Structure 1
Amino acid sequence: MIVVGLMSGTSMDGLDVAVGEFGFDGEVLTLRPLGAEEYPWPPETRERLLGLLPPSAVGLAEVCEVDTLVGQASAAAVGRAIERFSAGRADLVASHGQTVFHWITDGRALGTLQLGQPAWITEATGLPVVSDVRARDIAAGGQGAPLASTLDTLWLADDASAGTVPTRRAALNLGGIANVTVVGGRDEPVVAFDTGPANCLLDAAAHRITGGRAGSDLDGRLALAGTVRADLLARLLDEPYYLREAPKSTGRELFRADYVEPRCAGLPPVSDEDLMATLTELTAVTVADACRRYGLTEVVASGGGVRNPALMAALRERLSPAVLVTSDERGLPAGDKEAYLMALLGFLTWHGIPGVVPGATGSATPRVLGRITPGDAPLRLPEPAPSPRRLAVLPPV
C-alpha cells in the first residue's frame, strides 16, 4: 500500500507530509520512503492555532473554524504530495491533526483533542483517512503518547537483529515536547515517555523576543550568544513532572507560553540571549537525566530540534558517554520521521494491528488506533494481520 502520513507537532510550525510504500515480508514490515515535505502553516492559521493554547480562553466558533482551516490545508498538502512523490496514486491517508489540548490529571491521561477535520482530505482525494489516533489508547488506560514508540521499537529492533549497533539505545524525538523510546534486547520491555520540553519553551521565547518575526531559534544564534543562568535553571528544574515515573506524557497545557515568566520573578534581569541559553540547557539536562538510568550507549535523534546546533551540542555533552546520532544515519530523515510514523500507524490500523507496543504508553492492552473516514470507493478492510516483529526501511527506488 502507498500511505500518506500527516503530522503537525507541538511546535505548530507547519504540516509534515510523507508518502511511503508499505508491505509485509514474513514477520518483517517494510517501508520504502517515497518522499516527504514540510508545508508551513499560513501565518494567520498558525497565529490562530497558537491562540487556542492555554492560557487562552476561546469560543467554540473559533475551534470550529480552525478545525476546518487545518482540514482544508491538510487536504491541499496531501494532493500536492501524492502528485509529487507517487505519481498521483495512493491508497490511504493517516492524519494526526493538530493537538490543541492533552488532558492530564494526577498523571493520568483522560482526553486529547486534535483539530483538522479529515472529511476535507477525503473529499479532495477520494481516499479513506485514518485520524484521531490517540483517543483509543487513552480510553484503554494509556497516555496516548508517545506514539513514536511504535515506529521506534520496530525500527531499532531491525538494527538489533542485525547486530550492527549497541544493544541498549533510545530514539529521541525533539519536537515541541521531547520524548524517548528505550529499546533493549528482544525480550526486554519497551519504555517510552515524554521527558519534558524540547522546543516549545524556546519557540515561545523566540516568538516574544523577535516580536513574532521568528517562531524558533533553529540556528541556535540567540542561545549561542548567551550564558546559562544557573539561578533560573534551578527554578525551571524544580518541576514535579520530571520526577514522575514512566509512562507519562505532557504538552503545552503544562509548558505554556507563560511558563517561564513567573519563574524569573525576583531574579536579576535575564537577557534574551541568556534566557535562550538557559532554556536550551533545560532541554539537554532533562533529556539526559531521563536517559541516564537506562545505561544507554546510543541515542538516535530526530525532529526539528536536530537543526539547532546549540541544542545538539548541549545534548552531546550531557548524554556522554552515550553517542548521539541522527535518524538520517539509520535511514529515516530526521525532519520527516514523525510523518512516516503516521503513515505507519495508518497502515497498521487498516490491517487491524494494534498501534502501540505493550507497555509503551501504559495501556493494559494494546488497541487498534483511530477512526476511519471512508473514501469514495466501498470500504473493504483486509483480514487482520499478525503484528510484525520489526521494521525494515528500504532504500528509495
Structure 2
Amino acid sequence: MRILGMISGTSHDGIDAAIVEFELTGGVLEGRVGYTASTPYPEELRARLIAALPPAPTTLAEVCELDTLIGQRFADAAAAAVAAGGPVDLIVSHGQTVYHWVEGAHARGTLQIGQPAWIAERTGAPVLSDVRIRDITAGGHGAPLVSVLDGLLLGAHEGGAAALNLGGISNMTVVRGDALYAYDIGPANALIDAVVTGRGLHPRGFDEDGRIAASGQVHEGLLAVLLDEPYYRLTPPKSTGKELFHPGYVEQALARTAAPVGDADLVATLTELTVRTVAQDVRGAGVGALVVSGGGARNPVIMDGLRAALPGVRVAPSDEYGAPTDDKEAIAFALIGWLTAHGLPGTVPGGTGASAARVLGTLTPGAGPLVLPAPLAAAPRSLVLTR
C-alpha cells in the first residue's frame, strides 16, 4: 500500500511530504521511503498564519480563509508528490496546528486547519485528516503521535533508546522493548525562530547552522528565568505548544532579567535552553542511545551541546535508522494512515496518556469509491525503513 504522509509542524514554515510503500511480512512491516520533499509556505501566507496564532486575537473569517488557503497549499504539495513519486492509495494530511488546548495538565481539544477536501479534489485520492482528536477524546494528549513509529522502529534497541524530535517543540519517546512513554519536553526551535523572525536576524526566519547562537554568549541570568517555567516540572504525559512558548513569552522573561541581553546572546541562551531541558530529561530516562530528527538536528550548536551534556549516550540522527531527519514526521503520518486503513490503532497509550489505543482520523473520499484493505487482527511487531 502506497501512502503519502504530509505535515506542517509547529515551526509553521511549510509542508513536509513523504511517500512510503508499506508491505507486511510476517510480523515485520517494511516501509520503502520514496519521494520526499519540503514545500515552503508563501511568505504572505506564513505571515498571516503567524499573525493569527495565539495569544494574538483573530476572527472566524480569518480562520476560515486560512483553512482554505492552507488546504490549497497542501493540495499543491500533494499533487506535486503524486506527479513525481507516482500514484498513492491514501493521503494523510496532518494539516497545520493553530491551537492545542491544555488546561490543568490535560488536553481538552486541538485544532488543525488545511481543509482536506481540497487535497481529495485535486488528487482524486482519499484523505485521512484530523488525526489527533480521537486520542484526546480517550484522555490522551493527542501528542506526540510520532511515538507509534518510534516504538516499532526502536523496540529492539538493547538497553533502551529515546527518539527526540526537535521541531518547534521538542518531544521525546523512550522505548524499552514493548514498553514506551512519550511527551513534549518544551521549546526546541519555537522561541529561537520567534526571536530570529521578530528581530529580522535572518531572512529565512531561523538560525541557519546555529551561526547566530555560536556568535553569542549564554546569559545565565536569563537562562535561570527561562528554566523556572512550571511546565518543565509537570509529570508526563504532557503536551505543549506555541500557546505557551510564543514571542511574548520571551519578552516577559527578558523583563524579569536585570541586565540587557543582545540579540546574539539571546539566541545563544534560547538555544542552550533547548539543550538543557532535553539533556535533563534524557539523563532521567537512563537510555544509551538518542535518535534525533527535526529541524533542530541540523543545528550543530544544539547537537554538539547535547553530545557534551550526555557523554554516556550515543547521539545519532534518525537517518541511521532509515528515517531521514527532515522527513520522519511525514513518514510517521504515512504509517498512521496504513494503521487506520487496516483498522489498527495509531497510538500507544504510554505515548499520549490515553486510557486505551485508538484508530485515528477522519476520511474524506477521493474521486471513486472508498476501498480499504481487509482489517488486520494484530499490529506489526516492528518496522524497517529503507530508501
TM-score norm. by structure 2 comes to: 0.97
Q: In structure 2, do the counterparts of structure 1 residues 272 and 211 end up closer, same or farther at CA, with 3 Å as the change threshold? A: closer
* 1:137-185 C-alpha deviation (Å, 9 max, x unpaired): 000000000001010100112xx1xxxx542210000000000000113
Is structure 2 residue 240 aligned with structure 1 residue 250?
Answer: yes
Displacement of 1:203 in angstroms is: 0.2
Structure 1 vs Structure 2 CA RMSD? 1.1
Aligned amino acid, residue 345 of structure 1: I
Superposition pairs for residues 41-60 of structure 1, below 5 Å? 41-60=41-60
Q: Of 167, 171, 177, which aligns to 2:159?
A: 167
Aligned amino acid, residue 370 of structure 1: G
DSSP-derived class of the 1:96 partner: strand
DSSP-derived class of the 1:69 partner: helix
Is structure 2 residue 204 aligned with structure 1 residue 214?
Answer: yes
Give the unaligned 5+ runs of structure 1: none
Aligned amino acid, residue 7 of structure 2: M
Partner of 2:143: 145
Superposition pairs for residues 1-397 of structure 1, below 5 Å? 1-86=1-86, 89-157=87-155, 160=156, 165-186=157-178, 189-210=179-200, 213-265=203-255, 266-385=257-376, 386-394=378-386, 396=387
CA contact (8 A) 1:166 1:298 kept: no
DSSP-derived class of the 2:264 partner: helix
Displacement of 1:55 in angstroms is: 1.6
Displacement of 1:229 in angstroms is: 0.6
Separation in 2, partners of 1:70, 1:156:
33
Separation in 2, partners of 1:324, 1:212:
28
Separation in 2, partners of 1:47, 1:23:
41
DSSP-derived class of the 1:10 partner: coil
Could you list the runs of 4 or more consecutive aligned residues of structure 1 that deviate by over 6 angstroms after TM superposition? none
CA contact (8 A) 1:193 1:248 kept: yes
CA contact (8 A) 1:149 1:181 kept: yes
Displacement of 1:320 in angstroms is: 2.3
Separation in 2, partners of 1:80, 1:54:
31
Q: Percent identity?
A: 53
Separation in 1, partners of 2:242, 2:59:
19
Aligned amino acid, residue 212 of structure 2: L
* 1:264-288 C-alpha deviation (Å, 9 max, x unpaired): 1142110001101100000000011
DSSP-derived class of the 1:124 partner: helix
CA contact (8 A) 1:280 1:314 kept: no
CA contact (8 A) 1:180 1:192 kept: yes
Separation in 2, partners of 1:35, 1:273:
37
CA contact (8 A) 1:218 1:305 kept: no
Separation in 2, partners of 1:130, 1:220:
36
Separation in 2, partners of 1:255, 1:128:
35
Separation in 2, partners of 1:203, 1:98:
17
TM-score norm. by structure 1 comes to: 0.95
Separation in 2, partners of 1:122, 1:214:
31
DSSP-derived class of the 2:69 partner: helix
Q: In structure 2, do the counterparts of structure 1 residues 280 and 211 end up closer, same or farther at CA, with 3 Å as the change threshold? A: closer
Aligned amino acid, residue 194 of structure 2: A
Query: Paired residues, what number?
Result: 385
Q: In structure 2, do the counterparts of structure 1 residues 326 and 212 end up closer, same or farther at CA, with 3 Å as the change threshold? A: closer
* 1:243-267 C-alpha deviation (Å, 9 max, x unpaired): 1111110000010121111111142
DSSP-derived class of the 2:208 partner: coil
* 1:344-386 C-alpha deviation (Å, 9 max, x unpaired): 1111111111000132101011000010001111112233212
Displacement of 1:212 in angstroms is: 7.2
CA contact (8 A) 2:68 2:115 kept: yes
Aligned amino acid, residue 173 of structure 2: T
Displacement of 1:211 in angstroms is: 6.4
Aligned amino acid, residue 100 of structure 1: V
Displacement of 1:226 in angstroms is: 0.5
CA contact (8 A) 1:355 1:369 kept: yes
Aligned amino acid, residue 73 of structure 1: R
Displacement of 1:15 in angstroms is: 0.4
